[in-house]
Each structure stands twice: as C-alpha cells, then as structure tokens.
C-alpha cells in the first residue's frame, strides 16, 4: 500500500453484526445486502464473512455486482433488488442470479431466455407505497399468474420495501404492513404458492417484528451502523469501517494566517496545522470544515482548519501541539477514548451514514483486519 490513507474494515465486526442480526430476526433468515461494493466496505470480503457467519442470501443492485460475487466463488442465492434491463437478462441467467421482477414486459422477455427444463427462480416485488419500483397491489395476482404461466420461471418469493421503517412511530409502517398482508392473502386465495416472503430492511428488522416474515434484507446494520437516529443502540452492533491516514506535513502558522482555498478562517492564535492526504475525491465532503468537522490525532479531537481540497485537508492541532509527519489520523473511527462516527459526519452534513460510507472512493485502499479464521 503506497497511499498513506486507507479504510480499515474489521471483518470480525461484520461477523458479529451478522450473528446479532440473525439472533434478532430468527426464525427469519438473513440476506446480507452488499450492493455498492458492500456500502463501500468491499462486497466480496463482506459477503464471504456474512455467509460464513450464517447469512443464507446476498443481495445486490446490479447484475455486474452479482457476477463479481459469483466470480469470487460465492455460491449462495444472490437477489437482484431491481428488475434488470432486458440487455442484462443473459448474464442474469448465466450467473444464476435471482432477479426481482414486476413488469409484464420484463417477465415476458426473461421467460424466453430461461429454460423450461430448469426454471429460473424469481422474486415478485410489490409496491406497497414507496413508489420506487414494483407491481401495484391491485395487479399483483395477475403478474404472479403471468410468472407461473411461463413454465420457465418459478415464483420463489414475494417481497416489498419499507420507506419509513427507521421512524418506528410513523403510522405508514402499519398501513404498509396491512397492505402487504392483503396482497399475500389475495395471492394465496388465487391459489398461488409463495415459498418465501420478505419485507424488512435493517430498520424494520430491528423495530417491526411484523415485517420480518421469512427473510430479512439487512444492509447498514451488517456494517455496524444504525439505520437512523431513532434506532441508535437498538441492537448490539459495532461499526466495521474506520477511515485513517497519516499526517504528511506540519507547519506553525501565526495568528491571523489562514489555510486552504479561500483562506476563509484566519487562525485566532498562533497554532500548529497538519496536512492529511485525503480529500473530497476520497469522500470527505468539501463542506465538512464549514459544519465543524473534526478528526482525531494523538487521541484528541482537532477541527478542520480550512476548506477540504480534492486530495488533502488541513487540521488545526492547536498551539504547541506535538504532531509530526507520519502520525496516525482517524477521520472516522476510534483513537484512544475518542470516536468520530459516520453518524457524526452525517448529522453535521445533513445526510445519513449510508451516504458517508458509500462515498469513500475507490482511491482509498481497503485494508481488512479481524478476518475470522
């Protein structure tokens, strides 16, 4: 590794989080959601760890993400969370991925490619109110009948997705659960067999037992992050990722001098500033200084001293600070008894921790520790 900036991923934490979620969700099984390169943690390493810890399914957004898991030797069922474009169907069949379906056109074009001798399992997605993708509840029976009639597709599951499960008191959670139950009742009344039902993301798994059904699809909690502020501490989870770097340069600046583009914040007193070789091209928001962002050096919180630049940022270590090139900087994670979390960044930046970890760019090497033996 030549770059003195890296994301450390603790696979022991992933394993423990998976085990904790399996315990919460039981008897439902766990599907580990590893799309977007495992929320920035590395899909293959996380998937291997999750499966070894008991996850029976994996889920991704894109056929290419599924193929990368197959190429790495992962053999468990892999769910595609959206209906792929027709151009992708060949690969989906060849890679034995389990597609989500909902459009009549998609089902028809997939059915032509699949083999009646060896039907391809599909999961029917019902839109119970998020209005992103899925078949409308009123059309679910017809769409399920279409799947069954193909002969080359097998209806293995029916599922939905929850838009407000991270707000446990939101009334829509119950409305949605009722709508979904009504769809399941209609399907069964129409004689359609549904081997597997799933609805819960991490938040629903933790907060809404009624939505767990047979399988829960957990992403953020696998990585040890809370699905939202109202669910902080809802399960015994440990963040798997920390973002670290080494100080590249140290300077002493006089009172009134400013640093970085715009020279926006004149130092209130003589001080020591340290340059850290990580920037907004790596996922550290340019705005982080304006909203009070801090990093850890020598076990102390140090504020960003100026605008984050593309590849570097500058930290105010305080007057007389003992800091030297090569010292470790923790941007996200623990150092001594201090911790900066992805949730802290998210709160400052007005976003969610998902966006913080997914935003850590590919230039940042991932270093894996705690690999379960």
Ligand X SMILES: Cc1ncc(COP(=O)(O)O)c(C=O)c1O
Q: Give the ranges where 166-235 is alpha helix by DSSP (H).
A: 172-189, 202-207
Peptide bond into 245 cis (omega under 30): no
Count interface residues toward ligand X (CB under 6 A): 12
18, 33, 308, 352: residue in contact with ligand X (rule CB under 6 A): 33
Phi, psi of 338 (to 5 degrees): -105, 150
Q: How far is the CB of 359 from ligand X (least distance, A)?
A: 15
Which range touches ligand X (CB under 6 A), out of 108-116, 182-190, 220-228, 275-283? 220-228
28, 60, 81, 231: residue in contact with ligand X (rule CB under 6 A): 81
Q: How far is the CB of 342 from ligand X (least distance, A)?
A: 13
Q: Which residues pair with 300 in a beta bridge?
A: 297
Instruction: Please state, as a whole number, how many other Cβ atoms lie within 10 Å of the Cβ of residue 373.
Output: 2
- The single residue listed with the structure tokens 């892999």 is 78
Q: How far is the CB of 118 from ligand X (least distance, A)?
A: 27
Catalytic pick from 102, 105, 261, 354? 261
Using CB atoms, what's the residue nearest to ligand X? 219
H/E segment holding residue 213: none
Residue 59 or 331: the one with the smaller Cβ distance to ligand X is 59
217, 250, 302, 343: residue in contact with ligand X (rule CB under 6 A): 217
Residue 31 or 308: the one with the smaller Cβ distance to ligand X is 31
Establish if 219 lies at the interface with ligand X (CB under 6 A).
yes
Which range touches ligand X (CB under 6 A), out of 6-14, 104-112, 218-226, 333-341? 218-226
Is 261 catalytic? The answer is yes
What does each C-alpha distance from 41 to 130, 223, 357 come to in angstroms?
Answer: 27, 8, 8
Residue 33 or 274: the one with the smaller Cβ distance to ligand X is 33
**Among the listed residues 90, 96, 153, the one whose alpha carbon sits nearest the alpha carbon of residue 124:** 153
Is 255 catalytic? The answer is no
Establish if 218 lies at the interface with ligand X (CB under 6 A).
yes
The DSSP code sequence of 258-279 is --SGGG-S--SSSEEEEEES--
Contact call for residues 311 and 4 (beta carbons, < 8 A): no
Establish if 161 lies at the interface with ligand X (CB under 6 A).
yes
Q: How far is the CB of 360 from ligand X (least distance, A)?
A: 16
Q: Which residues pair with 7 in a beta bridge?
A: 243, 366
The CA-based diameter of the chain, rounded to the nearest angstrom, is 79
Catalytic pick from 35, 125, 223, 354? 35
Residues 79, 53: Cα–Cα separation, whole Å: 18
- What tokens does 93 get? 């069949």
Q: How far is the CB of 3 from ligand X (least distance, A)?
A: 28
Check residue 36 and give left, alpha or beta (phi > 0: left; psi -120 to 50: alpha): left
Q: How far is the CB of 45 from ligand X (least distance, A)?
A: 17
Q: How far is the CB of 202 from ligand X (least distance, A)?
A: 3
Using CB under 6 A as the binding rule, the residues of this chain from 189 to 208 that contact ligand X are 201-203
Residues 319, 104: Cα–Cα separation, whole Å: 67
Which range touches ligand X (CB under 6 A), out of 134-142, 216-224, 234-242, 298-306? 216-224
Residue 169 or 337: the one with the smaller Cβ distance to ligand X is 169
Which range touches ligand X (CB under 6 A), out of 219-227, 238-246, 341-349, 357-365? 219-227
Q: How crowded is the C-beta side of 65, counted as CA atoms within 13 Å?
A: 24
What does the binding site for ligand X look like in residue numbers (CB under 6 A)?
A: 33, 81, 161, 201-203, 217-221, 227
Residues taking part in catalysis: 35, 261
């Amino acid at each position: 590794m030549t770059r003195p900036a890296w994301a450390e991923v603790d696979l022991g934490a992933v394993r423990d989080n998976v085990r904790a979620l399996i315990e919460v969700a039981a008897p439902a099984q766990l599907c580990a959601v590893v799309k977007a390169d495992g929320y920035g943690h590395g899909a293959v390493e996380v998937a291997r760890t999750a499966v070894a810890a008991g996850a029976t399914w994996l889920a991704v957004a894109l056929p290419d993400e599924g193929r990368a898991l197959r190429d790495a030797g992962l053999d468990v069922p892999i769910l595609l969370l959206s209906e792929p474009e027709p151009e992708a169907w060949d690969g989906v069949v060849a890679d034995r991925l389990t597609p989500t379906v909902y459009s009549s056109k998609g089902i028809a074009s997939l059915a032509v490619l699949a083999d009646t001798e060896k039907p391809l399992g599909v999961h029917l997605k019902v839109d119970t109110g998020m209005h992103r993708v899925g078949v409308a509840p009123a059309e679910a029976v017809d769409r399920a009948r279409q799947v069954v009639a193909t002969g080359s597709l097998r209806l293995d599951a029916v599922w939905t997705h929850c838009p407000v499960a991270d707000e446990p008191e939101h009334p829509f959670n119950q409305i949605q659960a009722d709508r979904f139950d009504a769809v399941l009742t209609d399907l069964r009344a129409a004689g359609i067999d549904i081997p597997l039902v799933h609805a819960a993301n991490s938040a629903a798994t933790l907060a809404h037992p009624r939505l767990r059904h047979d399988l829960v699809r957990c992403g953020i909690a696998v990585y040890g992050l809370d699905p939202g502020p109202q669910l902080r501490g809802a399960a015994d989870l440990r963040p798997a990722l920390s973002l670290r770097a080494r100080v590249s340069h140290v300077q002493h600046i006089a009172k009134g001098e400013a640093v970085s583009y715009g020279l926006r914040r004149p130092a209130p007193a003589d001080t020591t500033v340290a340059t850290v070789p990580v920037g907004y091209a790596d996922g550290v928001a340019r705005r982080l200084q304006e909203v009070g962002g801090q990093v850890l050096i020598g076990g102390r919180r140090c504020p960003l001293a100026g605008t984050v630049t593309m590849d570097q940022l500058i930290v105010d270590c305080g007057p007389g600070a003992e800091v030297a090139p090569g010292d470790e900087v923790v941007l996200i994670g623990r150092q001594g008894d201090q911790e900066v979390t992805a949730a802290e960044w998210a709160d400052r930046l007005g976003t969610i921790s998902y966006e913080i970890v997914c935003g850590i760019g590919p230039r940042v090497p991932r270093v894996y520790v705690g690999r379960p033996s």
